[in-house]
Amino acid sequence: MNSTQSASDGTGWVDKLDDAATLAMLVSAIGAQQTKLAASSHTGLSGQVDRAQHQKQLLGAFGTIRIADDIPEAARLGPFAKHPATYRIACRISNGQPCPQADTASDVRGIALKFFTEEGVETDLLLTNEGGRSHARNAVQFMAVADIIVALLAEGTVSGIAQGLREMMMAKLGPVEGARILAVLLKETKVHHVDSVATEHYWGSVVQLGQAAIKYSLHPHPSTSAGTNAERHGDNYLRADIFNRLEQGPVKWQLGVQFFVDEATTPVNDASIAWKSDVMMIGEIELDTPPSADDEARIDRLAFNPANGFAPLGITHARQDVYAASAANRKGRGVMSSDEARAMLGAH
Ligand code: HEM
């Protein structure tokens, strides 16, 4: 697949797809990970198959997404076609590991948002705070790292990003890529301390908006206070912090988009490189009140998919199939259908 117009409007990219055998391997690998995690007595999952990634919900809350009036011409498509616009969102904030861990453990943090557009299109934004890139170049690498972390967690290693990781990474990914991935994980999940999920920057992986390749991102609103509003060392300090902030007033992030320029500056086919094009702010996300226990339970049952609302590109193709498989495999713990999510968000 490719787009052949000029590069300044996000076009001109060439998309290299994984073949069907690779996609099938990834779908089967995620299922094997979920089964292994559920079966282990060390993961705290009590035998229940759960999300294969981002299992611990730090916050599940309702709020709004506002698309601004004056957004760039090239962004006025798909979920951002109507502008200005305001939609109700369900927001799930999570730690990255596939089983519960203390918030003080080294980890990636994620935000998943679901809304239904004016045209009724189910749209999901999924983002992590890994600095605008993944540790993995592609889905096969991502799955190889996940396999190692799952093996360590299932064996009862204290943290997934721990001692055995180095040797296993070198053996499975080779010394160059193994060292590169470890360095990214160390930088983004350990050296980088998260005071609050409200003060983090988050990025999605590449998707198609019209003919453009884009990445969307969330950035703390200028009104966001620095630091931690909770006891810093508690196992659930990130959850306590965001609850305390919501007790005091709204928590907001600005919504940004970046456009593809060329494969060197803004790669579609290598997820491990942060895009260097400008981030243009096109809207805002707002959470205004602490959620009820019932809100949180419902949001924890949602299934998000980065291909909802956008055509996938690059690593997002594999993510489309793998998220659907992960959600199907965890049906036993309760997964909300798209129709139920639509009704919950009061959309048509
Ligand atoms: C590269 C950028 C990526 C970002 C920004 C990202 C972000 C996220 C987020 C925010 C969630 C939590 C969703 C929720 O709250 O329900 C999630 C879950 C998940 N991610 Fe990713 N992820 C990325 C890459 C990948 C890759 C490459 C794979 C595997 C091929 C993957 C597999 C999964 C799975 C299986 C889940 C659980 C889905 C479910 O059961 O509903 N992710 N991801």
CATH number at residue 218: 2.40.180.10
The alpha carbon of 52 and the centre of ligand 1 are apart by a number of angstroms equal to 8
Q: Give the span between the Cα atoms of 146 and 195, in whole angstroms.
A: 25
Nearest 5°: phi and psi at 221?
Answer: -65, 145
| Amino acid symbol at 328 | A
Q: Please give the Cα distance from 336 to 208 (Å, whole number).
A: 26
pLDDT grade, residue 78 (50/70/90)?
very high
Global confidence as pTM: 0.96
Q: Cα 213 to the chain's mean position, in Å?
A: 18
Note down the domain range covering 225.
7-134+195-344
Whether residue 6 has pLDDT greater than 50: no
| Res 157 pLDDT > 80 | no
Per the structure, the count of domains in the chain is 1
Count of all residues that appear for the chain in the document: 348
Amino acid at 45: L
Tell me if 220 is assigned to some domain. Answer: yes
The answer to whether residue 226 is domain-embedded is yes
Q: Is 60 exceeded by the pLDDT of residue 262?
A: yes
The least confident of 44-53, 151-160, 187-196 is 151-160
Pocket test for ligand 1, best of 48, 54, 337 (most atoms within 8 A of CB): 54
pLDDT-derived band at 167 (thresholds 50, 70, 90) equals: confident
160 in any annotated domain: no
Let me know if residue 317 belongs to a domain: yes
207 in any annotated domain: yes
CA distance 248 to 62: 16
Measured CA angle at 102 (ends 106, 231), to 5 deg:
100
Is 312 contained in some domain? Answer: yes
**What integer pLDDT is reported at residue 7 of this predicted model?**
44
Among 107, 114, 126, the mutation site with the greatest number of ligand 1 atoms within 8 A of its Cβ is: 126
SS3 content of the chain, % helix, strand, coil (to 5): 35, 20, 45
pLDDT > 70? residue 321: yes
What is the rounded radius of gyration, in angstroms, for the C-alpha atoms of the chain?
19
Cis omega (within 30 of 0) for bond into 72: no
Confirm if 164 and 157 have CB atoms less than 8 A apart. Answer: yes
- Asked if residue 52 belongs to a domain, the reply is yes
Phi, psi of 59 (to 5 degrees): -160, 135
Question: What are the beta bridge partners of residue 125?
Answer: 113
Q: Is residue 78 part of a domain?
A: yes
